[in-house]
Amino acid sequence: MAEAIRIGDPAIEISLRRSGRARRMTLRVAQVGAGPTLTLPPGVPVAKARAFLSDHEGWLRRHMAARPVGAVVGDGTVLPFGDRTLTIRAAAGRAMVHQEGVLAVPGPAEGHAARVAAWLREEARRACVAAVDRHAARLGLKPGRISLRDPRSRWGSCTASGDLMFSWRLVMAPAAVFDYVVAHEVAHLAELNHSPRFWAVVRRLFPDYERPRDWLRRNGAALHTHHFGGRPG
């Protein structure tokens, strides 16, 4: 029987693989299907492996939350949420409660995915309004209407009249990525193009913009693999 270790709450099961060629412990998370695997050099005791996994639990949960999934969000789902994760739990009562990384969702199970999407959208709206106000104030400009949608092809947009649109799924991205996208669209209030002048405005608002931009290019598609049933507009 294969060795395995369970850590955390909700528990994650990690398979242990011993390799005569391994020189150090290596933790891997498959993109699809299989659970995480920890490769151990010869002679490493299970207690040392468990300590290693405890030290890397945060990294493990973030990577598991970001990998492509096909199931609809429900009880036990772990979602990326800014720089943290959000575990969905079915609960009694009437109100949704977010506490210590857990979102308690009452009501019938078939409605949980839509309720989680609505909750994330409102979190995204509050964060967007605050970030737009902050960046626009630095430019001395006033934005138009702010809307949140769930587009597939873009993370944000700015119209000639100054209306801004953002994907509410950005609330699941790291905080720096969220803020970069807002800064990018606010910069369009000054330069409605992608000229060098535009990127100079972006750098003024977000000096290290290349890093979150690259993260979005590499990982943004994974945010669309979390299914919430009906897609809120």
* SS3 of 69-125: CCCECCCCCEEEECCEEEEEEECCCCCCEEECCEEEECCCHHHHHHHHHHHHHHHHH
Q: How many domains, in total, are found in the chain?
A: 3
| pTM of this structure | 0.70
For residues 165 and 104, state if they share a domain. Answer: no
Least confident of 39-43, 89-93, 152-156: 152-156
Residue range(s) defining the domain that contains residue 27: 4-66
Q: Are 43 and 7 in contact (CB under 8 A)?
A: no
CA–CA dist 193, 205 (Å, integer): 16
Which of 19-28, 39-48, 201-210 has maximum average pLDDT? 201-210
CA–CA dist 4, 12 (Å, integer): 10
At 30, is the pLDDT very low, low, confident or very high (cuts 50, 70, 90)?
A: low
Quick: pLDDT tens for 95-129. Answer: 999 998 999 999 999 999 999 999 999 999 999 99
Quick: pLDDT tens for 179-195. Answer: 999 999 999 999 999 99
**R_g of the chain, CA atoms, integer Å:** 21
DSSP category for residue 53: H
Is residue 47 exposed (0-12), middle (13-18) or buried (19+ Cβ within 10 Å)? exposed
Looking at the domain assignment, is residue 134 inside a domain?
A: yes
For residues 103 and 142, state if they share a domain. Answer: no
For residues 154 and 195, state if they share a domain. Answer: yes
CA–CA dist 212, 199 (Å, integer): 14
For residues 107 and 138, state if they share a domain. Answer: no
Percent of the chain with pLDDT over 70: 93
Looking at the domain assignment, is residue 232 inside a domain?
A: no
